[in-house]
């Protein structure tokens, strides 16, 4: 406390918001410097250096300068507590130093007279103490505004010092104080009069360890990878960077030199000698930079070809010439490690700030630009020749070697029509067709554009081969025969395919082509090469806080296929895109057109899910629900089709009234189908809705349906069904003999009764990590047991606290038999894990265990359908997962406003698993 006695004596802490006089003990890693702009009687700058648990402080009337000719007066004042480093706010009138304060700059510093000591706090503090005692201290600053070497020199007056910039590459005559905004909040000191202050802990200002010793630099590091996003957006909690078309590289810097490693771990150090030299000037022992090496063509546009050519060079003379004539730039976008501090578990918002501080830029080493507005940044990135943009969640950790939905890469995608001129032989299941050869007409000749081998599923292949069979010919129809790697069948150029691709390459071919569909409405003779329009990133501005990830304009086969016996509702990519465009209409009510149908939409900005600060989620409205359902419909409708539906409606949102609706007695539109089912309980018939098409899905959302719960059987016979009867209504006997009495799967409902401790008396358990982890553990035990029976289960989150595990089966056993199988397996699993599992109906007896409810396998019982939203805080959705994904998943990973980015990858695999019908006859015999 003696260190801060003068600070404490000048202040009344019951009246000022400044932090109390607490000395920060211990810790390791780099030391903090901070410059605060302070509008007291006169505007001045407070320059502070962390040492021995406090901030040594100087008042600099004119502020720092980057011109060595400026010798700025710095008046030594009382030590301040370490926590003062992040103080922004207003010191009230009548208090010492009254006025507004912002953090003008901050970062790490080290004495630098005999090298730097960012990695050794004790040595750094020892040299600081010695320098202050001598009256001369040379330091290197690594801040966002102040970089390079400075000197503090004491004058003849004991408390008067001079702050002087040393000569180095950061010298400039520009007035650095013209950059007048806070590096933390972005506000000016004048703004502080009206803007509420939001402080972060001073411990987060720089990468330092509050406890423990320095951590060793990793010898190897696989980069974190991004998932594919559909469109950029502007939303709280995200930052965007341009996507660079280069080599992903991890740079390791320590006292032994610089090492460049590719994404695959290859050593690229010898290929870039000039870059290695500049990275060696970072002046720190222990630094790992994640970034992209980019080469540029003669026009200054990023060129991947130029980079590939550059990497082929071997001799020193060739490399030296390349450094002169075709230099590369290393754009840095992450800092996984710095000076003894492993930053991989630190949120991206802090790592980005640390990177801006720690990086010492040079001509070949640059900090990549970042912006909150992904839409505007994509426009600028594409105009500058970059690939697109990458969005990063501000709270995301650095998951080395993993692809994460916390990072989204968005690249422009184009599609055009091309003539099919042949197809190659493939391998394995694709032996009949590996790729199609497509082209366009130019001057009466067919020019080859590309081999297209992506975008096909089994159904598409069969249909395409049937269309191509009568068109076979002996000779190549292209003007110049393409390069061929496999046996090729030529066809008459009469069939037109729509192909999605990124861009035309320099040699006139398609980059990343994907087959979309056959276009019978296009005359093959009319197909010409189409020049790509300049991408704009978004067809129109979006409101902040909406679900901005739009479905691709031409979804691939993962979004187009449908399950056996299930309708897809006829929705097309164009129809969905048209719906999304209509929903951009700012009106609160209007008539939505979907195909020939019209749906009257009202109260579109009514909030259904309030903002969730913990998840950094904005309020979500009816409009957002409609957007989500339109985008997810190609995946969700096959699971809804032909199944009696129970709706959970919340017309005023999740905080208002909610009610189940099983039977539909009101008037319904013509496109909404229904089925009449006999009720054994009331000896009467009831009408159930079937959600078989997109208009019905959107109409139900307009009616306030937030959750969609379905039967486990379908009102449609098929080749796997033992019953062909569709008489569900005339009697109980007819219903039991009908196809509706034969489920598609056996259900295992895993429901944790492990409480968070925050529940109201008598309430069901809330979602909590401990409970979900235990449920996940039981799910894997269940999978292991089912594998022992040669059964392959699939899994999805319930969207609330539990998991739903399914075993898809042939429709040869009724609900009673399915329930018997579920009970048999569940009881055996309970015997294996008696401390963890219960099948008791008494709620008190379930407490602390996982409840397995085999009685979900009853005709008329329902579970929420795959991809259904849930009326819970955070707007979770019921997400199908692979078992690998389940291993580290959490229900709130999958929410209404972040799910679309990953659905096209996961949905198809889950639907394929549902097609794998299994025979349970032998299990029943075993049970008996």
Mean pLDDT, rounded, of the chain: 87
Regarding whether 870 and 734 lie in a shared domain, the answer is yes
Query: How is residue 77 written in tokens?
Result: 């004042």
Higher pLDDT, 343 or 454: 343
- Per-residue CA distances from 364 to 277, 308, 700, 858 (Å): 10, 18, 56, 67
Could you tell me the CATH number of the domain that includes residue 483? 2.40.50.140
Q: How far apart are CA 911 and CA 102, in angstroms?
A: 55
Residues 812 and 825 in one domain: yes
> Which domain CATH number covers 563?
3.90.920.10
Token pair recorded at residue 833? 């894990």
Check whether 506 has a pLDDT greater than 60. yes
821, part of any domain = yes
Among candidate residues 145, 165, 243, 392, the one labeled active-site is 243
Q: Are residues 405 and 418 in the same domain?
A: no
- Return the closest-CA partner of residue 410 out of 616, 187, 203, 226: 226
Same structural domain, 881 and 756: yes
Per DSSP, the chain holds a count of helices (H) and strands (E) of 19, 44
pLDDT digits (tens, 9 = 90+) for 729-775: 888 888 999 999 999 999 999 999 988 777 777 788 888 777 888 89
Residues 332 and 361 in one domain: yes
Question: Are 110 and 165 contained in the same domain?
Answer: yes
What's the token pair of residue 726?
Answer: 């569709």
Contact present, 666 and 647 (Cβ < 8 Å): no
Instruction: Pick the closest to residue 469 from 506, 528, 422, 520 (CA basis).
Output: 422
Phi, psi for 240 (deg, rounded to 5): -125, 145
pLDDT tens figures, 525-580: 988 887 543 333 333 333 222 222 222 222 333 333 333 333 444 455 668 888 98
Residue 923 falls within a domain, yes or no? no
Q: What is the pLDDT of residue 763?
A: 81
Q: What is the mean pLDDT of residues 801-829?
A: 93
pLDDT attached to residue 11: 94
Specify the higher pLDDT residue, 457 or 806.
Answer: 806
What's the start-to-end Cα distance of the chain, in Å?
Answer: 78
| CB-based contact 438:424 (threshold 8 Å) | no
What is the spatial distance between Cα 141 and Cα 151, in angstroms, rounded to a whole number?
Answer: 10
Q: 243 catalytic, yes or no?
A: yes
Per the structure, the complete domain to which residue 257 belongs is given by 225-410
Residues 167-174: contacts with CB under 8 Å, at least 24 apart: 167/68, 169/362, 170/66, 170/360, 171/66, 171/67, 171/68, 172/66, 172/67, 173/66, 173/67, 174/66
CA distances from 454 to 150, 499, 500, 900 (A): 58, 10, 10, 21
- Domain identity same for 102 and 237: no
Residues 380 and 485 in one domain: no
pLDDT at 855 over 70: yes
Quickly count: other Cβ atoms within 10 Å of residue 682's Cβ: 8
| Higher pLDDT pick, 152 / 552 | 152
Give the H or E element holding residue 227. Answer: strand 225-228
State whether 314 and 338 are in the same domain. yes
Beta strands in 682-762 (DSSP E): 684-690, 705-710, 745-752
Does residue 144 contact residue 183 with C-beta atoms inside 8 Å?
yes
Are 328 and 313 spatial neighbours (Cβ–Cβ below 8 Å)? no
Compute the average pLDDT of residues 122-150. Answer: 96
- Mean pLDDT, to the nearest integer, of 43-57? 97
Tokens of 741: 């009495």
Domain boundary among 410, 430, 454: 410
Q: What is the pLDDT of residue 13?
A: 92
Least confident of 54-68, 427-441, 656-670, 787-801: 656-670
Render pLDDT for 618-642 as a digit per residue (tens, 0 to 9): 899 999 999 999 999 988 999 999 9
Whether residue 521 is contained in a domain is answered as yes
**Rounded average pLDDT over 458-486:** 92
Specify whether the backbone of 228 is left (phi greater than 0), alpha (psi in -120 to 50) or beta: beta
Domains in the chain, number: 4
Q: What phi-psi label fits residue 637: left (phi over 0), alpha (psi between -120 and 50 degrees) or beta?
A: alpha
Query: Where is average pLDDT lowest: 287-291, 529-533, 711-715?
Result: 529-533
Side-chain-side CA neighbours of residue 478 (13 Å)? 23
* Closest C-alpha among 292, 396, 389, 280 to residue 343: 396
Do 400 and 421 fall into the same domain? no
With respect to residue 723, please indicate whether it lies within any of the assigned structural domains: yes
State which H helix or E strand residue 321 sits in: helix 316-325
Average pLDDT for 376-390: 84
Q: Which of 172, 204, 236 is the last residue of a domain?
A: 204
Cβ neighbours around 591 below 10 Å, total: 9
The answer on 396 and 445 residing in a single domain is: no
Residue 354: what are its φ and ψ, rounded to 5°? -60, -40
Q: Which residue has the higher pLDDT, 617 or 472?
A: 472
Residues 90 and 15 in one domain: yes
CATH number at residue 279: 3.30.470.30
**pLDDT band for position 420 (cuts 50, 70, 90):** very high
**HSE toward the beta carbon, residue 916, CA cutoff 13 A:** 13
Per residue in 189-218, pLDDT (tens digit) is 988 877 777 789 999 999 987 667 788 999
Closest CA to 420 of 490, 516, 330, 502: 490
Contact present, 388 and 381 (Cβ < 8 Å): yes
Q: Which token pair is 616?
A: 């950094």
CA dist 457 and 634 (Å) reads 15
Q: How far apart are CA 894 and CA 510, in angstroms?
A: 34
* Run of H or E residues at 904: helix 900-915
Judge whether 229 lies within some domain.
Answer: yes
Q: Which of 349, 376, 410 is the last residue of a domain?
A: 410
In a domain, 536, yes or no: no
Average pLDDT over residues 72-79: 96
CA quadruple 145, 151, 154, 155: dihedral, nearest 10: -90
Beta bridge partners of 687: 676
User: If you average pLDDT over residues 708-715, what whole number do you get?
Assistant: 94
pLDDT digits (tens, 9 = 90+) for 579-609: 988 998 888 899 998 888 889 999 999 999 9
| CA–CA separation, 421 and 448 (whole Å) | 8
Asked if residue 139 belongs to a domain, the reply is yes
Q: Which two tokens stand for residue 253?
A: 């810097």
What percent of the chain is modeled with pLDDT above 90? 57
Residues 63 and 59: their CA atoms lie apart, in Å, by 9
Q: Is residue 547 part of a domain?
A: no
For the CA atoms of the chain, what is the radius of gyration?
33
- DSSP strand E in 482-617: where? 488-491, 496-501, 503-504, 510-511, 514-518, 590-594, 597-601, 607-609
H or E segment to which residue 824 belongs: helix 815-832
Q: Where are the alpha helices (DSSP H) in 397-521?
A: 458-468
Residue 839 · residue 827 · CB < 8 Å: yes
The CA angle 532-538-542, to the nearest 5 degrees, is 170
Separation between Cα atoms, residue 236 and residue 257, nearest integer Å: 40
Query: Mean per-residue pLDDT for 347-366?
Result: 95
DSSP result, 56-119: EEEEETT---S-TT-EEEEEEEEEEEGGGGG--EEEPTTSTT-EEEEEEEEEEEEE-BTB--TT
Regarding beta strands 620-621 and 684-690, do their DSSP bridges make them parallel or antiparallel, or are they unpaired?
A: unpaired
Q: What is the pLDDT of residues 227-247, one digit of tens each?
A: 878 788 888 889 999 998 788
371: which strand partners? 240
CA nearest neighbour of 36 among 243, 260, 205: 205
Write out the H or E segment, with its range, that includes residue 262.
strand 257-262
């Amino acid at each position: 406390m003696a260190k801060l006695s003068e600070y404490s004596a000048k202040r009344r802490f019951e009246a000022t918001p400044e932090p109390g006089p607490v000395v920060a003990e211990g810790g390791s890693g780099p030391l903090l410097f901070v410059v605060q702009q302070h509008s007291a009687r006169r505007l001045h700058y407070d320059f502070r250096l962390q040492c021995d648990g406090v901030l040594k402080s100087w008042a600099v009337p004119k502020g720092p300068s980057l011109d060595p000719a400026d010798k700025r007066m710095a008046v030594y004042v009382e030590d301040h507590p370490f926590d003062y480093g992040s103080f922004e706010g207003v010191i009230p009138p009548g208090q010492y130093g009254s006025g507004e304060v912002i953090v003008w700059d901050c970062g790490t510093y080290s004495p630098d007279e005999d090298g730097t000591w960012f990695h050794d706090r004790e040595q750094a503090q020892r040299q600081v103490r010695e320098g202050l005692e001598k009256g001369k201290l040379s330091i290197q600053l690594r801040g966002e505004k102040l970089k390079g070497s400075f000197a503090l020199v004491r004058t003849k007056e004991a408390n008067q010092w001079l702050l002087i910039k040393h000569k180095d590459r950061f010298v400039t005559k520009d007035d650095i104080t013209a950059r007048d905004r806070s590096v933390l909040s972005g506000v000016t000191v004048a703004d502080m009069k009206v803007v509420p202050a939001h402080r972060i802990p001073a411990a987060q200002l720089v990468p330092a360890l509050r406890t423990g010793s320095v951590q060793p630099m990793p010898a190897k590091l696989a980069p974190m990878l991004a998932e594919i996003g559909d469109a950029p957006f502007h939303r709280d909690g995200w930052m965007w960077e341009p996507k660079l078309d280069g080599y992903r590289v991890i740079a390791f810097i320590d006292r032994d030199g610089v090492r460049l490693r590719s994404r695959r771990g290859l050593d690229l150090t010898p290929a870039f000698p000039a870059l290695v030299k500049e990275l060696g000037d970072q002046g720190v022992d222990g630094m790992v930079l994640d970034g992209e090496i980019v080469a540029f063509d003669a026009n200054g546009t990023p060129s991947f070809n130029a980079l590939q050519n550059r990497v082929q060079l071997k001799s020193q003379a060739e490399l030296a010439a390349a450094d002169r004539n075709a230099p590369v730039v290393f754009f840095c976008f992450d800092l996984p490690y710095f000076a003894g501090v492993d930053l991989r578990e630190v949120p991206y918002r802090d790592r980005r700030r640390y990177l801006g501080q720690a990086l010492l830029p040079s001509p070949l080493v640059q900090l990549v630009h970042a912006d909150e507005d992904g839409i505007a940044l994509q426009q600028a990135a594409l105009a500058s020749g970059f690939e697109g943009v990458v969005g990063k969640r501000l709270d995301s950790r650095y998951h080395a070697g993993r692809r994460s939905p916390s990072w989204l890469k968005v690249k422009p995608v184009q599609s055009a029509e091309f003539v099919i001129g042949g197809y190659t032989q493939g391998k394995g299941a694709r032996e009949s067709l590996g790729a199609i050869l497509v082209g366009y007409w130019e001057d009466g000749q067919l020019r080859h554009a590309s081999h297209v081998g992506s975008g096909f599923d089994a159904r598409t292949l069969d249909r395409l081969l049937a269309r191509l069979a009568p068109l076979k010919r002996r000779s190549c129809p292209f003007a110049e025969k393409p390069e061929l790697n496999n046996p090729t069948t030529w066809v008459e150029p009469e069939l037109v395919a729509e192909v999605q691709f990124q861009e035309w390459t320099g040699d006139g071919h398609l980059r990343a082509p994907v087959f979309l569909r056959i276009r019978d409405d296009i005359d093959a003779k009319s197909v010409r090469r189409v020049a790509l329009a300049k991408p704009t990133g978004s067809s129109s501005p979006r409101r902040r806080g909406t679900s901005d990830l739009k479905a691709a304009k031409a979804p691939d086969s993962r979004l187009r296929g449908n399950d056996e016996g299930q309708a897809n509702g006829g929705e097309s990519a164009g129809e969905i895109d048209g719906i999304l465009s209509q929903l951009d209409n700012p009106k609160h009510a209007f008539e939505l057109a979907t195909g020939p149908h019209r749906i009257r939409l009202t109260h579109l900005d009514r909030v259904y899910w309030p903002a969730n600060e913990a998840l950094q989620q904005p309020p979500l409205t009816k409009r957002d629900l409609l957007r989500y359902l339109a985008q997810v419909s190609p995946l969700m409708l096959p699971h809804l089709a032909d199944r009696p539906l129970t709706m959970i409606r919340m017309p005023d949102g999740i905080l208002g009234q909610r009610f189940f609706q099983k039977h539909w007695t009101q008037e319904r539109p013509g496109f909404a189908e229904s089925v009449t089912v006999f009720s054994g309980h009331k000896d009467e018939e009831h009408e159930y809705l079937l959600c078989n098409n997109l208009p019905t899905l959107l109409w139900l959302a307009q009616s306030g349906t937030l959750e969609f719960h379905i039967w486990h059987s379908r009102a449609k016979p098929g080749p796997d069904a033992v019953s062909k009867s569709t008489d569900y209504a005339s009697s109980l006997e007819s219903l039991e003999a009908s196809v509706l009495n034969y489920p598609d799967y056996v259900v295992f409902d895993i429901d944790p009764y492990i409480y968070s401790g925050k529940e109201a008396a008598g309430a069901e358990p809330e979602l909590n990590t401990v409970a979900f982890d235990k449920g996940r553990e039981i799910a894997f035990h269940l999978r292991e047991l089912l594998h022992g029976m040669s059964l392959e289960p699939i899994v999805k989150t319930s969207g609330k606290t539990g998991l739903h595990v399914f075993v898809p089966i042939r429709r040869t056993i009724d609900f009673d038999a399915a329930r018997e199988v579920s009970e048999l397996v569940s009881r055996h699993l309970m015997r294996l894990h008696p401390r963890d599992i219960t099948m008791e109906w008494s709620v008190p007896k379930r407490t602390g265990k996982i409840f397995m409810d085999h009685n979900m396998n009853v005709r008329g019982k329902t579970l929420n359908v795959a991809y259904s939203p849930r009326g819970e805080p955070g707007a979770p959705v019921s997400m199908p997962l692979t078992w690998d994904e389940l291993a580290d998943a959490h229900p709130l990973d999958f929410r209404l406003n972040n799910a679309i980015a990953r659905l096209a990858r996961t949905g198809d695999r889950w639907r394929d698993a549902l097609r794998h019908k299994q025979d349970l006859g032998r299990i029943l015999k075993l049970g008996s």
